[in-house]
Amino acid sequence: MPFFIYAKVTDGTYAAELEEMISNVDVNVGEMYLDKGYRYRANDQLIADIGAVPYIAIKSNVKSKSYGYPA
């Protein structure tokens, strides 16, 4: 069952803060569900690097190239 392990109020530019949020989590995270604001290849890779599976809504302008991020 999904539950929140971290929450933070932001000014709307929160995608770059994902690394900070992940570093503050001290539990084994198997899946991460996030909104479109977090959809960046670097964020997908950060989530994969901690062993979790990212489930992030797809933006309308997404391209199929990985641009160096294997996740």
**Is 29 within the bounds of a domain?**
yes
**One digit per residue, pLDDT tens: the chain, 71 residues?**
556 666 667 666 667 778 877 877 777 778 888 888 788 888 888 888 888 888 887 777 777 776 777 76
What's the number of domains the chain is made of? 1
Instruction: State the maximum Cα–Cα separation within the chain, in Å, rounded to a whole number.
Output: 34
Q: How far is CA 14 from CA 1, 24, 28, 38, in A?
A: 25, 15, 22, 7
**Is 21 within the bounds of a domain?**
yes
**Is 70 within the bounds of a domain?**
no
**Is 49 within the bounds of a domain?**
yes
**Is 9 within the bounds of a domain?**
no
Instruction: Give the Cα separation of 37 and 35 in Å (integer).
Output: 6
**Is 43 within the bounds of a domain?**
yes
Is 0.85 topped by the overall pTM? no
**Is 5 within the bounds of a domain?**
no
Domain residues for the domain of 51 are 15-56
DSSP strand pairing (53-56 vs 31-34): parallel
